[in-house]
Amino acid sequence: MNRFWALPISLIAGLGIAAASADAQSRPTGTIDGIVTDTNLVSLGNATISMLGSALRVATGDNGRFRIVDVQPGNYVLSVRHIGYASLAVALSIAAGDTARPSLTMRPIVAALDTMISSAKTLPARMSEFDYRRKLGFGHFISGEEIEKRNEVFLADLIRTVLSVTIAEKGFRQVAVNTRAGCAFQIYLDGLAIPLTPDLRDLPSPRELAGIEIYSGPATIPVQYRYGNASCGVILIWTKSG
């Protein structure tokens, strides 16, 4: 005679969760094995590496190297900071079982400022486009002169004065939210789209910026930036070092 045993629903659910957890753990992850140097290829120790959109923080050793293991496959942006150097943001794509080996070069802040002064009469192409779009009158613009005059310490304080921008505190993260659309702005750093909603504190500080463009409505966004999460609005951040 066949006998059928009825398992409690809670036990069945528990088995399902355990199986899903085991399946997630069995998926191959990736590794980031990188090095941070200055423009003379001298290794930079004690540089801080963070992964935008997460609480992850690591520091480079005396040899400038850092390693991040068990990274889920996907697209990421690494933020690199070191005293005396311009902050750096780099996009990486991690495949299952792969090891990414980025070589990150940081520019001394003094050297970047000297370069700006020597080429002041010839604006970089990106800032010429900034001025061109500002003259068209669409969007909200914060120029380098205004940034310097306001002398803000944090990026959030620089942009929160724009009517369509509110700063949401999500856990330990600061996120720029479009009050009109009710969702987080898509942010570009020097023309590079940041795939994950970044913590504003991970982005370059106001003293490193050459200009900011804020577009709250999809119709006002420049054509080349109308993709990804553009329906929530776009913030273009331009650094002095580019």
Give the tens place of pLDDT for each residue, 16-29: 444 444 454 567 89
The total number of structural domains in the chain stands at 2
pLDDT at 123: 54
Does 182 fall in a domain?
Answer: yes
CATH code for the domain of 85: 2.60.40.1120
In whole numbers, what is the pLDDT of the chain averaged over residues?
A: 81
One domain for residues 136 and 217: yes
Averaged over 32-51, what is the pLDDT?
Answer: 92
Per residue in 55-93, pLDDT (tens digit) is 788 999 999 999 999 999 988 888 888 888 887 888 888
DSSP secondary structure letter of residue 162? S
Query: Does residue 9 register a pLDDT over 50?
Result: no
Query: Does residue 110 register a pLDDT over 90?
Result: no
Does 5 fall in a domain?
Answer: no
One domain for residues 42 and 81: yes
pLDDT at 74: 87
206: pLDDT confidence band, cut at 50, 70 and 90?
very high
One domain for residues 101 and 146: no
Contact at 8 Å (CB) between 168 and 175?
yes
Provide the b/e sequence for 81-112 (b: ≥16 CB within 10 Å). Answer: bbeebbbbbbebebeeeeebebebbbbbbeeb
Highest-scoring range by mean pLDDT, 102-106, 119-123, 226-230: 102-106
Distance separating alpha carbons of residues 106 and 41, to the nearest angstrom: 9
Amino acid in the structure at residue 18: A
pLDDT at 126: 72
Query: Does residue 4 register a pLDDT over 60?
Result: no
Does 52 fall in a domain?
Answer: yes
90: which strand partners? 78
3-state DSSP percent of the chain in helix, strand and coil, to 5: 30, 35, 40
pLDDT at 242: 65
Does 13 fall in a domain?
Answer: no
Highest-scoring range by mean pLDDT, 29-33, 50-54, 84-88, 171-175: 29-33
Three-class SS state of 58: strand
Q: Which domain holds residue 214?
A: 123-239
223: pLDDT confidence band, cut at 50, 70 and 90?
confident
pLDDT at 108: 86
Per residue in 180-200, pLDDT (tens digit) is 989 999 998 888 888 778 889
One domain for residues 89 and 155: no
121: pLDDT confidence band, cut at 50, 70 and 90?
very low
Query: Does residue 13 register a pLDDT over 50?
Result: no
One domain for residues 165 and 102: no
Place of tokens 């949401």: 168
Distance separating alpha carbons of residues 82 and 84, to the nearest angstrom: 6
| Residue where one domain finishes, among candidates 45, 77, 107 | 107
212: which strand partners? 142, 237
pLDDT at 26: 63
One domain for residues 130 and 235: yes
Distance separating alpha carbons of residues 105 and 88, to the nearest angstrom: 8
CATH code for the domain of 161: 2.170.130.10
One domain for residues 49 and 143: no
One domain for residues 132 and 227: yes
| Residue where one domain finishes, among candidates 77, 107, 137 | 107
Tell how strand 30-38 and strand 140-143 pair up.
Answer: unpaired
